[in-house]
Amino acid sequence: MDKFKNTNIISAIGNTPIIKLNSVTKDIESEIYVKLEYMNPGGSVKDRMGVYMCQKAVENGDLKPGGTIVECTSGNTGVGVALFANTYGYKCVFVMADKQSQEKIDNLRAYGAKVIVCPTDVEPDDPRSYYSVAAALAELPNSFVLNQYANKANTLCHYEQTGPEIYEQTNAEFDTFMASVGTGGTISGVGKFLKEKKPSMKVVGVDCKGSILAHYKKTGEMGEAHSYVLEGIGEDFLPENVNFDVIDDFVVVEDEESFQMTRRLLREEGIYAGGSCGSAVVGAIKYAKSLNKPEKILTIMVDSGNRYASKIYNDEWMQSHDYKVENSKDALDEKILNIIGDNGRLV
């Protein structure tokens, strides 16, 4: 049992599989592969950099023993940070925007974290924004604000860990790396590493309508942000971890097409993923359709669908936003009801 002597939950992060999409891509010639990052122990790619940022903060002396870690998060980074905190004896305070799913809030509270919810539709520098509130919490005694948007350990984690892992799995035998872009750490770190190994590699970001990132890449101007429903993708400011020199281009997607694809991924591919994963696949398909010849494209399945069961996977929620929902009732329903009668309830 000596080989288990120094292991803990942190050692389970990484080495996630890559699979090929087969059904949702049947109308294109290009091949799309996805790396299932939701198979990390905390359920998302953010386990990697959440832990890595904390490790660097300890090494640099910014995070003291028994201290409090403060972070603004859409939910996934918070879980990664909480994995580290619970393993090594730290406390956590997370600040979230009010559009995040209840499951994400409940997850963080289950880890023992304090969670603060702030309004979404305010400017980033508004004192009520979740960025500003997190910064203000730096006043807490023995605390450290990680700030994933500007913390270079975010990008460095993916440059040192995720990028090499992808290269080892694939030998870079694909043409384009794509990822939905929020803080920018994943696409910037992985993209930089892959381009160093294979200069012909293209790196394409997926942004959502309402965000300013794609517009900035195209025009060099900030543009005007407006609200959108997707979580964990897009921004209304320019995060320091978005390296626009690494990103060759952007594809823009919308809320509804992303959510419809998210549901299709589960129904047709067995992939239970979050909304930004649907965005990534929609973006990859749009990009593939713009090409003159077929390519192999790799993208990231960022997080698990279990954080969106009350939203994206809930027909009533979809209908409340005027999103199309296919009728799930079929002949099997009638047969079941005929058998069970009043002895049970089909839900």
- Give 330's pLDDT tier (boundaries 50, 70, 90): confident
CA 269 remoteness from chain centre: 19
* CATH number where 81 lies: 3.40.50.1100
Question: Could you tell me if 51 and 40 lie in one domain?
Answer: no
Instruction: State yes or no: pLDDT of 130 exceeds 90.
Output: no
Question: Could you tell me if 136 and 254 lie in one domain?
Answer: no
Sequence-separated (6 or more) residues with CB below 8 Å from residue 82:
42, 50, 92, 108, 111, 112, 113
Question: Could you tell me if 189 and 290 lie in one domain?
Answer: yes
Render pLDDT for 68-121 as a digit per residue (tens, 0 to 9): 999 999 899 999 999 999 999 999 999 999 989 999 999 999 999 999 999 988
With tokens 């994933």, the residue in question is 148
Please report whether residue 268 resides in a domain: yes
Instruction: State yes or no: pLDDT of 4 exceeds 60.
Output: no
Instruction: State yes or no: pLDDT of 2 exceeds 70.
Output: no
Domain end, chosen from 121, 145, 169, is at 145
Render pLDDT for 206-216 as a digit per residue (tens, 0 to 9): 999 999 999 99
Question: Could you tell me if 157 and 194 lie in one domain?
Answer: yes
Domain end, chosen from 122, 145, 168, is at 145
Render pLDDT for 229-287 as a digit per residue (tens, 0 to 9): 999 999 999 999 999 999 999 999 999 999 999 999 999 999 999 999 999 999 999 99
Q: Which amino acid is at 113?
A: A
User: How would you classify the pairing of strands 296-301 and 176-180?
Assistant: parallel
Question: Could you tell me if 69 and 95 lie in one domain?
Answer: yes
Domain span at residue 177? 2-44+152-320
Please report whether residue 342 resides in a domain: no
Distance CA 77, CA 44 (A): 8
49 dihedral zone (left: phi>0; alpha: psi -120 to 50; beta): alpha
Render pLDDT for 164-199 as a digit per residue (tens, 0 to 9): 999 999 999 999 999 999 999 999 999 999 999 999
Which residues partner with 273 through β-bridges? 304
DSSP single-letter state for residue 282 = H
- Return the ∠ at Cα 115 (arms to 113 and 120), rounded to 5°: 150
Question: Could you tell me if 12 and 71 lie in one domain?
Answer: no
pLDDT of res. 234: 97
Question: Could you tell me if 235 and 92 lie in one domain?
Answer: no
- Give 1's pLDDT tier (boundaries 50, 70, 90): very low
Structural domain count of the chain: 2
Q: Which residues are catalytic?
A: 46
Sequence-separated (6 or more) residues with CB below 8 Å from residue 254:
208, 209
Question: Could you tell me if 158 and 254 lie in one domain?
Answer: yes
Contact (Cβ atoms closer than 8 angstroms) between residue 271 and residue 8: no
- Give 140's pLDDT tier (boundaries 50, 70, 90): very high
CA 110 remoteness from chain centre: 20
Question: Could you tell me if 232 and 312 lie in one domain?
Answer: yes
Please report whether residue 243 resides in a domain: yes
Please report whether residue 61 resides in a domain: yes
Please report whether residue 338 resides in a domain: no
Please report whether residue 331 resides in a domain: no
Please report whether residue 27 resides in a domain: yes
pLDDT of res. 3: 60
Question: Could you tell me if 125 and 195 lie in one domain?
Answer: no
Question: What would the mean pLDDT of 289-300 be, rounded to a whole number?
Answer: 98
Please report whether residue 131 resides in a domain: yes
Q: Which amino acid is at 8?
A: N
- Backbone phi and psi for residue 35, each to the nearest 5 degrees, phi listed first: -95, 120
